Structure 1
Amino acid sequence: GSLIPLTWVLGRRYPIRRPHLAGHLAIHAGGALLLCIGWATVGIALGTLLDTAPSGLAGWLGTSLPWSVFMYFAVLGCVHAVMYFNEAREREAHAAALSAQLSEARLAALRMQLHPHFLFNSLNALLVLVRDKDTPNAERMLELLGGVLRQVLQADASHDATLDEELQFLDDYLAIEQIRFSDRLTVVRDIAPETRRALVPRFVLQPLVENALRHGIGPLEGQGTLAISARVDGQDLVVAIADNGAGIVEPPNGLGVGLRNTRERLATLHGNRASLSLEPRNGGGTVATVRLPLRLAEDA
């Protein structure tokens, strides 16, 4: 028992690993021998006092040295097992921290990519009104655009918002689009009450609505309808954006910035538990469906 603390100290001070493998093995061999000799000396002294000592130091070493050396290296093995276990846990924690930092950096980059894209498209719509000399609507759109951009810039650093907050943001964004489409755009909502406190990635729905308006309803000559729905399906939140437009499932040159950005954000935040699908709508048009784990915001 007296060997254990000393062996522990030596094991941590001189671990058996590269690049000092040979040197530390020699230290432990010498340490084992010295400790065993010391232990034998103490044993002989106590044996002499109790009149139970074996025949001198040679006799003690002959009977106890092999066992003592075995016990020393057995304890040393336990020391290294504990050390390697702790180091493995530290490496896992460090790797998890690095992964989280990389995910945060990636999400921040995706979010910053979305903002200029949204601004560019909105300014294009405003430019059309200016060229058409539609001053009242241009002024109204500029006012609405300022409010929307204020929300984007003032949003906190968290990656989540409640679905209710996202729908309010969409209302402001759609007010801009209503000016561009005039009376050709009708918006229908079917939002289950229990979904309003559900957490979703911030600004996740706007690219889907923009895609439906630009590639679906935009090419239509007649009335366009945009339907926004949200429901709970088991342990998932399902949000759908449907249009009665041209029925383009994906743009000809692949996913645009907004849709590609949305898929990457969902994958980064939730892995394979979240998805974005684009499918033809019954009766014409396209349905974009976001499915992600249902998480509810805590009540204040």
Structure 2
Amino acid sequence: MAITATHPLDLPRQHLFWILHIGGWVGYFCLGYLQAIAYGKPSGYWIVPATAACTGFTVTLGLRYLLRACWGLPPRRLMAVMILPILGSSAVMDMTTRTLLVRFCETCAPTSRIAFIAYALSYIYVVLAWVGLYLGIKYYRQLQDETQRALAARSMAHQAQLKMLRYQLNPHFLFNTLNAISTLILDRDNGTANRMVQGLSAFLRHSLDNDPMQRVTLRQELDALTLYLDIEKIRFAERLRIETDIEEDCWRALLPSLLLQPLVENAIKYAVAKQIAGGLLRIEARREGEQLVLRVIDDGPGCQSLEGGQLPPGKGVGLRNTRERLNVLYGDDSSFNVRNCERGIEVTLRLPFETRLLGE
């Protein structure tokens, strides 16, 4: 069972407050008592720091409720509102503590109004430290909440974007498949038409049932791609030739589901369908260090307007879709390149080589 460390400031708010509040004032008492021992105070002197700590514990609770009530105010107005309560809290701590202190130190009693005011302000640094710590933690928690909401919103936006990209089935594929089925029915080739309908149904069910956020192994990806290619083989028969060259280590590599389908569809549309003799479609997978390298290659006419790995506007929607999915999922850890070969086009994808962990 995995054990995850929890940051102290990630505790529930009420628990965190009482732990820090009680612990802080207990620490204040201990520090005062140690100072009393160091200066050789009588044994009963412990009641002075104890009274100061108990009074501080109580008055700062009042400050807490006031701070919570005024939390929505701008910082300057909040400071203006809190000045008098902070001064008053310091004066209360001094009055309760000094009443006991004069039993051990007769010269500690104020003898003038100025001395009284000075004594009343003697605990202000303690109260200010408490207020500063309270505001710091509260601002931290607020910033943490806003950061979590921003991350959640960004994650939801990425998921929505990925789902949109993942569910963009090429209408040309659906139109051509349905048109082919219609032609087969008119030609009374019902057996072939039925196989094509079943293949289309299986492919669409796989496309829509799988979570677009879920990654699959390369073996599962090629199994799904086979559903698509079985439909195209019925359309093109011997005109569509397929080769695969997959390194053994790559079968278990993880990648986004149906990542290769738009690339294969693009190759069939521009390299196979436009040639009377059809064409060859080759799918390769290699491992290069910590990267999985996938290639989809055809022997079609290529693209004369291809420059710098970029397709001209209006062409290769499936390729741009795939490029964007990789960018959303992997950022700079992935790359997407399209180039003209001596004959045809080669599309190369590079993404982190990842596999399922044991027990996953």
Change (3 A) 1:54 1:150: closer
Question: 1-side partners of 2:215 and 2:293: how far apart?
Answer: 16
User: Of 149, 155, 161, which residue of structure 2 is paired with 1:100?
Assistant: 155
The correspondence of residues 192-231 of structure 1 with structure 2, limited to 5 A, is 192-222=247-277, 224-231=279-286
Using CA pairs below 8 Å that are at least 6 residues apart, which structure has the higher relative contact order?
A: 1
- Per-residue CA shift, 1:131-162, capped at 9, x if unaligned? 66654433332232222223223324643221
CA distance in structure 2 between the aligned counterparts of 1:12 and 1:203, rounded to whole angstroms: 56
1:52 Cα shift?
3.6
Point out where structure 1 has 5 or more consecutive residues left out of the alignment: none
Confirm or deny: 8 A CA contact 1:198 1:296 kept in the other structure: yes
2:178 alignment counterpart:
123
Distance 1:34 1:241 in 2: 77
Note if 1:83 corresponds to 2:143: no
CA contact (8 A) 1:114 1:257 kept: no
- The alpha-carbon distance between structure 1 residues 149 and 51, as it changes in their structure 2 partners (threshold 3 A), is closer
Once the two structures are TM-superposed, the CA of residue 165 in structure 1 deviates from its matched residue by 0.6
Does the aligned pair in 1 maintain the 2:163–2:213 contact within 8 Å?
A: no
Report the CA distance shift for 1:25/1:223 in structure 2 as closer, same or farther (over 3 A). closer
- My pick for the range that moved more, 59-68 or 197-206, is 59-68
Alignment of 1:10 with 2:63, yes or no, is: yes
The residue number in structure 1 matching 2:86 is 32
Native 8 Å contact 2:214 2:257 kept in 1:
yes
Distance 1:38 1:54, change over 3 A: same
- How far the C-alpha of 1:253 sits from its partner, in A, is 4.4
Deviating more after overlay: 120-129 vs 182-191: 120-129
- Percent same amino acid at aligned positions? 32
- Residues 1:289 and 2:343 aligned together: no
Secondary structure of 2:255's counterpart equals: strand
Could you tell me whether the CA contact under 8 Å between 2:264 and 2:296 is conserved in 1?
yes
- Say how many residue pairs are matched: 299
Cα offsets for 1:188-234 (capped at 9, x unmatched): 11111211121111111111001111101222233521110111122
Q: CA offsets, 1:45-95, max 9 Å, x none? A: 112322444243747535434443244224322322222222212211110
List per-residue Cα deviations over 1:219-254 (Å, max 9, x = no partner): 223352111011112222111100111112576543
Question: In 2, Cα distance between the equivalents of 1:263 and 1:14?
Answer: 51
RMSD: 2.9
**TM-score, with normalisation over the residues of structure 1?**
0.86
**2:108 is equivalent to residue 48 of structure 1:** no
Residue of structure 2 aligned with 1:146, choices 201, 206, 225? 201
Query: CA, structure 1 residues 5+55, in 2 after alignment: closer, same or farther (shift >3 Å)?
Result: closer
Q: What are the ranges of 5 or more consecutive residues in structure 2 without an aligned counterpart?
A: 1-27, 29-52
Whether the aligned pair in 2 keeps the contact of 1:184 and 1:224 (CA below 8 Å) is: yes
- The alpha carbon displacement at 1:24 in A equals 3.8
Opposite residue 73 of structure 2, the aligned amino acid is P
> For 2:121 and 2:103, how far apart are their aligned partners in 1?
25
Contact 2:239 / 2:279 at 8 angstroms: preserved in 1?
yes
Measured in 1, the distance between the counterparts of 2:258 and 2:160 equals 17
